[in-house]
A = this chain, B = another copy of it.
Amino acid sequence: MSDFPCVDCVSATANGAHRDLTPLFDPRSIAVVGASADATKWGGDIAARLVRNEKRRDIYLVNRKGGVICGRRAYRSLSELPSAPDMVMLAVPAAAFEATLEEALGLGTRAFVAVFAGLGEAGAEGKAREVAAVQRIREAGALMIGPNCMGAADTSVAFQGVANLDIPVGSVGFISQSGAMGEEFTMRSQAANSGFSRFVTLGNQADVSIAQILWSYRDHEPTRVIAIYAEELKDGRELACAAAATVAAGKPVLLLTPGRSEASARAAHSHTGSLAPDSAVLDAVCAASGMVLVDTPAALFETTLGFLHTTSLVPGGRLPAGRRLGIVTEGGGHGGNAADCAAAAGLTVPLLGEKTMTEVRAAHEESAGSNPIDFAIGTTDPDAYARVVPALASSGEIDALLAVGQLGYWAARFAEFEDQVEAENKSARSMARAARAAGIPLVVATVYPDTSPAETLRAEGVPVYREIASATSVLGRLADHASRVPTGVPALPLPAPPLAPPANGSAGPLDYWSARGALSASGIDFVAARLVETATADELAGKAAQVAAELHFPVAVKALGLLHKSDAGGVALGLNSEAAVIRAVADMVGRLRISALTVERMAPIQDGLELIVGAKRDPRFGPVLLVGIGGLYAELLADVRTALAPIDEQVAEQLLKALRGAPLLLGARGRPQLDIGAAARAATALSCFAAAHPEVGEAEVNPLLVMTNGALALDARVILN
């Protein structure tokens, strides 16, 4: 855990994150404005759905034409209702929004579900109307989801307020900006006998935000695992805080969000007016909060299912204690592929000891191989699973179990052989219970996931997947999550006095000497250097030579006042004498017309490793730190790690050690161990600098030379926003 604690409730309460969402998830009464008799329309479907589920709350249907809808009177306006509606669902055109809103607020409505589109996502005018409406709603102490959303549900209080969807009962807390993603997740849940505690689509996220929903899910007892599809991570730092608090409360949080590609950012932009976050920043957010980032809608569902079953729902269910996977199969091909996929997911498939293998063979003598264990009899005897799994699960040699292949073969292909189907079901139940008794998570991948044995497994709390790669990917995620200690979302310090802006404007890059000074003041060690400014250019070379002699040769000379001094030929390295300095400076003066420069002692580059250490301010997540191996080659291979700033030295060391090139720091292959502590201190200092200076858009030390004793910054760059 970071020295900088998660801001958690303090700032969350201050900025309204901890809103009471009871009116949204458990309204006392609901009016559908724009209710319709046409079930293909949102106002028709939701009206019928609410009426069908009318148990714990009154449902009023409102249509300006009146008439009868769903067998009951439709009111012409909210004011005609027999009592004030606690929630109003708005299936009206955007043009009618404000009038309806005022009418409802006047009646005391506390929650709005705004289905219509055409405000925030439709240009400046719509955006302005949306902002004004939200202000009115908040002033009145009410709340709104949408516009451009599909509704919300809370199965724990029988509230079914999502268009076109029966939300099945379960333990998943679901948050989606997109209605289509919500429909897809629901379809997948139904197929897997899974369901939801709460379900919400947020559309434009104009008032209630993902972070606010997440805070409420943390405290919602029936919610065990949270799945989020987000297009716009506004208040990103707040979301990170909510995620950290939720994960800390034992509820995994999974996130799917676009942004790995430029085109996906465009797609998000077209849909809810957002810019997608950049993937390295998201990695930092997940490291800080413990949130689990997934890549596809399928992975969002499949991983949710894995967490649900192994962490929450099943008595005795738990995350794997390590990365060692045991694989059992009736088919060598499936077992081998599972081993490959497991390795790709970061798991190991260890050879098992002779004692375990003796027990496995005693249970099923045909068993071939030692992990994967191949029953070597095909599907002829479904009971093999039940016999082998107990021996393996209790071996102490594995942390999780994958049964892979054709379980459900008889049920799917030859249901007429009832004894075999019954044997498959018995075997499935028995293996599930043996794994649970041993405290080992069990996951199944089978070509036949839609069969009674698969149902039996699900009923016993075992996640069942159609694809081997789905199962191994989920198992890898579970092991990752179990081994990861979130670093916490660091609190931002009070802003330091702003840096002086560059001479030529209020923003942009600081000159090199100022940047160096600012970073040096923040605690970063720079190589010894002196500024040389003279009244006339003629004096520059002589003064530089004199300074160089004082610093000790060899020295470097860097011209000041150039944006890219190195590319412009404004840097001379390895100057060994006063004469060499004079020649180099005279040459620069002639070519570049400079009037100031620095003279710097040459750093012992051959004795160390060059890193790059940088910070940038992300518009959603605030300051973010980056560390990487220096140089063009490392840049080509993108060997970098990121963290939310500020970080402490412990987190900095973790980042450095997570670089693929970390062995270069740690002393591999006879190389000396370098001073990783000094590198971590420099990275920490830069992260604190960036966090304390909101006016800084980017700050960078490149290279930072890490030596066996100490780390020296050799260059500096600071850009103000």
Is there an interface contact between B267 and A342, defined as CB atoms closer than 8 Å?
no
Is there an interface contact between B269 and A369, defined as CB atoms closer than 8 Å?
yes
| Residue A351 lies at the interface, judged by CB distance under 8 Å to chain B | yes
Is there an interface contact between B336 and A372, defined as CB atoms closer than 8 Å?
no
Given known pairs A180-B331, A261-B342, A420-B40, the reply for A337 and B371 (CB within 8 Å) is no
| Residue A435 lies at the interface, judged by CB distance under 8 Å to chain B | no
Copies per complex of this chain: 2
**Chain A contact patch, size range:** 35 or more
Is there an interface contact between B296 and A669, defined as CB atoms closer than 8 Å?
no
A429 to chain B minimum Cβ distance, whole angstroms, is 22
For window 633-691 of A, CB contacts with B under 8 Å fall at 633-634, 636-637, 639, 660-661, 663-664, 668-671
Taken together as a complex, chains A and B put the C-alpha atoms of A469 and B295 apart, in Å, by 9
| Residue A184 lies at the interface, judged by CB distance under 8 Å to chain B | yes
Neighbouring B residues of A272 by C-beta, 8 Å: 332
Is there an interface contact between A340 and B260, defined as CB atoms closer than 8 Å?
yes
B260, B267, B336: the one contacting A264 at CB < 8 Å is: B336
| Residue A720 lies at the interface, judged by CB distance under 8 Å to chain B | no
CB 8 Å contact bits of A322-342 with B (1 = contact, 0 = none): 000001001111111101111
For window 451-466 of A, CB contacts with B under 8 Å fall at 466
Q: Counting chain B CB atoms within 10 Å of each CB, which of A262, A633, A671 scores highest?
A: A633
Neighbouring B residues of A187 by C-beta, 8 Å: 447
Neighbouring B residues of A466 by C-beta, 8 Å: 298
A241 to chain B minimum Cβ distance, whole angstroms, is 25
Is there an interface contact between B469 and A267, defined as CB atoms closer than 8 Å?
no
A655 to chain B minimum Cβ distance, whole angstroms, is 17
| Residue A263 lies at the interface, judged by CB distance under 8 Å to chain B | yes
Is there an interface contact between B349 and A231, defined as CB atoms closer than 8 Å?
no
CB 8 Å contact bits of A264-279 with B (1 = contact, 0 = none): 1111111110001000
Neighbouring B residues of A414 by C-beta, 8 Å: 40
| Residue A221 lies at the interface, judged by CB distance under 8 Å to chain B | no
A150 to chain B minimum Cβ distance, whole angstroms, is 9
Is there an interface contact between B264 and A369, defined as CB atoms closer than 8 Å?
no
Taken together as a complex, chains A and B put the C-alpha atoms of A265 and B339 apart, in Å, by 9
Nearest B-chain residue to A380, judged by Cβ: B40
Taken together as a complex, chains A and B put the C-alpha atoms of A670 and B632 apart, in Å, by 11
Neighbouring B residues of A636 by C-beta, 8 Å: 660-661, 663-664
Neighbouring B residues of A703 by C-beta, 8 Å: none
| Residue A382 lies at the interface, judged by CB distance under 8 Å to chain B | no
Neighbouring B residues of A376 by C-beta, 8 Å: 117, 270-271
| Residue A406 lies at the interface, judged by CB distance under 8 Å to chain B | yes
Is there an interface contact between A336 and B180, defined as CB atoms closer than 8 Å?
no
A516 to chain B minimum Cβ distance, whole angstroms, is 23
Neighbouring B residues of A262 by C-beta, 8 Å: 343, 349
A207 to chain B minimum Cβ distance, whole angstroms, is 20
Q: Counting chain B CB atoms within 10 Å of each CB, which of A265, A276, A420, A636 scores highest?
A: A636
Taken together as a complex, chains A and B put the C-alpha atoms of A295 and B376 apart, in Å, by 23
Is there an interface contact between B369 and A332, defined as CB atoms closer than 8 Å?
no
For window 166-199 of A, CB contacts with B under 8 Å fall at 176-181, 183-184, 187
Given known pairs A378-B179, A634-B633, the reply for A335 and B267 (CB within 8 Å) is yes
B267, B296, B350: the one contacting A332 at CB < 8 Å is: B267
Taken together as a complex, chains A and B put the C-alpha atoms of A130 and B331 apart, in Å, by 22
Neighbouring B residues of A176 by C-beta, 8 Å: 333
B337, B661, B669: the one contacting A256 at CB < 8 Å is: B337
| Residue A258 lies at the interface, judged by CB distance under 8 Å to chain B | yes
Given known pairs A231-B332, A374-B267, the reply for A260 and B344 (CB within 8 Å) is yes
For window 301-347 of A, CB contacts with B under 8 Å fall at 327, 330-337, 339-344
Taken together as a complex, chains A and B put the C-alpha atoms of A271 and B566 apart, in Å, by 61
Is there an interface contact between A267 and B339, defined as CB atoms closer than 8 Å?
yes
| Residue A229 lies at the interface, judged by CB distance under 8 Å to chain B | yes
Given known pairs A469-B298, A636-B663, A661-B636, the reply for A337 and B179 (CB within 8 Å) is no
A288 to chain B minimum Cβ distance, whole angstroms, is 22
Taken together as a complex, chains A and B put the C-alpha atoms of A661 and B668 apart, in Å, by 21
Q: Counting chain B CB atoms within 10 Å of each CB, which of A40, A260, A271, A344 scores highest?
A: A271
For window 528-586 of A, CB contacts with B under 8 Å fall at 567
Is there an interface contact between B664 and A633, defined as CB atoms closer than 8 Å?
yes
Is there an interface contact between A178 and B332, defined as CB atoms closer than 8 Å?
yes
| Residue A370 lies at the interface, judged by CB distance under 8 Å to chain B | yes
B270, B349, B447: the one contacting A368 at CB < 8 Å is: B270
| Residue A213 lies at the interface, judged by CB distance under 8 Å to chain B | no
Is there an interface contact between A468 and B336, defined as CB atoms closer than 8 Å?
no
Is there an interface contact between A342 and B405, defined as CB atoms closer than 8 Å?
no
Is there an interface contact between A406 and B344, defined as CB atoms closer than 8 Å?
no
CB 8 Å contact bits of A418-457 with B (1 = contact, 0 = none): 0010000000000000000000000000010000000000
B180, B256, B405: the one contacting A180 at CB < 8 Å is: B405
For window 389-417 of A, CB contacts with B under 8 Å fall at 405-406, 413-414, 417
Can you name 9 A-B pairs with beta carbons within 8 Å? A40-B380, A180-B334, A261-B342, A267-B327, A269-B369, A297-B334, A298-B467, A567-B670, A636-B661
Closest 4 CB pairs of A and B: A271-B332, A270-B369, A180-B331, A263-B349
8 further interface pairs, Cβ-Cβ under 8 Å (given A177-B333, A267-B336):
A164-B413, A180-B331, A181-B333, A256-B337, A263-B348, A265-B336, A295-B341, A296-B469
